[in-house]
Amino acid sequence: MHDISPIRAKSGTNQEGTSAHNRRVMIEALRLNGALSRADLARATQLTKQAVSNIVEDLERDGLVVALDAVRKGRGQPFTPYRLVPEGAFAIGLQIDRHLTRVVVVDLVGKVIARAEAGLPLDEPSAGVKIILSLVDRVRRELASLFAQSERRLVGLGVAMPGPFGLRESDDKWMMPAWQQFPLLETLAAGTGLNVGLQNDAAACATAERIVGAAHGVDHAVCLYVGYGIAAGLILNGELYNGGNGNAGEIGRALLSPAGPGSTPLEHRASLASLYQHLGLDPAERGLYEKLGALALAQDPRVMGWVERAASDLRWSVHLIETIFDPQTVILTSSAPEALAQLLLQAMHPLLPSIADRPVRRLPRLQLGTTDPWAIAVGAAAEPISRAFDPRFSAILKAG
């Protein structure tokens, strides 16, 4: 017999009219576990062997799954493993920040195939979107040169940018008001011909962390993202939670003093923007990432002073997150260089007492996640993949 170790998968349903959900369940099982046999898939998803066989045949026909060589273990019958075809689907991810944009293409299993970046003119979305569309066109041409059928296998464009979204008009530059009021999604959809979705940058970072980072296999985690601003990506019950208006986790807007003239949002004190201001650096400066990394490695006194103050506020943020969401772990993610993120992580300890301070834990209360500046774009690209292939209760509800 072959391996009978636990397989990570959601349950399918053998009721009639639920094939869309079951198809997504099978794809997710293969993405999480790698190659599996039909018997493995039936056992993990609780579907009948006939249902699994039918779905596998459909997925093979659609170019999403391929059979591997038969395997024989011991005296049992040989079995055929199946795996996802990475080039079975592609998606584009777009990060828009105050001063730059990054574009990536990923395949069905999240591997980056092509990427490009460029500076953006501050608060000029009409000019900025032209730059973005040229980058998207560039990576699509690169993808097409590698995979002839790529255009018909593109499932969408995911966009990530700082929130919150949909608030009353504001002159607050932290909220990128010009971009907020620009018809961004409509312009991108018209310019690319793709389905376009939007999420905040922390949610995208959490998505990337869930695919390839510290949140992989964790059902309840909060990713505390420290970038130009601050926000939290919420993974609850194994799925990303966006809230009623896409603004869940906008912890950077939380006030650190009673509301009034002297109130200060968290991100005005503990974000990278506050560090740039403290050091007198231009956020649009070329080589800024490398410069910050060098200052952190040298433990520059100005950087260490900022780290101590920021860590105090972020320590409070972890306490708040643990109290409200009761996650298995909080993951510090950042667009900062790893050396700077490490200094922040160390300075945040000891953590404040909270309901998470239990004697028996499988995961630490706080750990360092991804510090790759491309993580947000990768997470943005994962959103169309998720929308197209991940199990959703809506697939069952629509079938009812």
Cβ-count burial of 305 within 10 angstroms (0-12 exposed, 13-18 middle, 19+ buried)? exposed
Number of Cα atoms under 13 Å in the Cβ half of residue 32: 25
- Residues 6 or more apart whose Cβ sits within 8 Å of residue 111: 86
3-class DSSP assignment, residue 32: helix
Q: What pLDDT sits at residue 12?
A: 54
The answer to whether 2 and 36 are in contact (CB under 8 A) is: no
Number of Cα atoms under 13 Å in the Cβ half of residue 55: 28
Q: Which of 277, 356, 278, 276 is nearest to 315 (CA)?
A: 356
- Residues 6 or more apart whose Cβ sits within 8 Å of residue 292: 272, 275, 303, 336, 337, 340
The answer to whether 58 and 26 are in contact (CB under 8 A) is: no
The pLDDT tens digits for 137-149 are 999 999 999 999 9
Q: What pLDDT sits at residue 398?
A: 40
**What DSSP designation does 348 have?**
T
Q: What pLDDT sits at residue 2?
A: 45
Domains and CATH numbers, the chain: 15-84 (1.10.10.10), 90-206+378-396 (3.30.420.40), 216-369 (3.30.420.40)
- Tokens for 18, please give them: 């639920």
Q: What pLDDT sits at residue 262?
A: 63
The pLDDT tens digits for 120-129 are 998 899 999 9
Strand (E) positions, 273-390? 329-334, 366-368
Measured between alpha carbons, how far is 38 from 51 in angstroms, rounded to an integer? 10
- Distances, alpha carbon 125 to alpha carbons 100, 132, 296, 376, in Å: 12, 10, 33, 20
Residues forming beta bridges with residue 329, ordered by sequence position: 221
Taking all residues of the chain, what is their mean pLDDT, rounded to a whole number? 88
Please identify every stretch of the chain with a pLDDT value under 70, giving residue numbers as ranges. 1-18, 74, 76, 168-174, 257-262, 392-400
- Tokens for 163, please give them: 């929130």
Measured between alpha carbons, how far is 374 from 211 in angstroms, rounded to an integer? 14
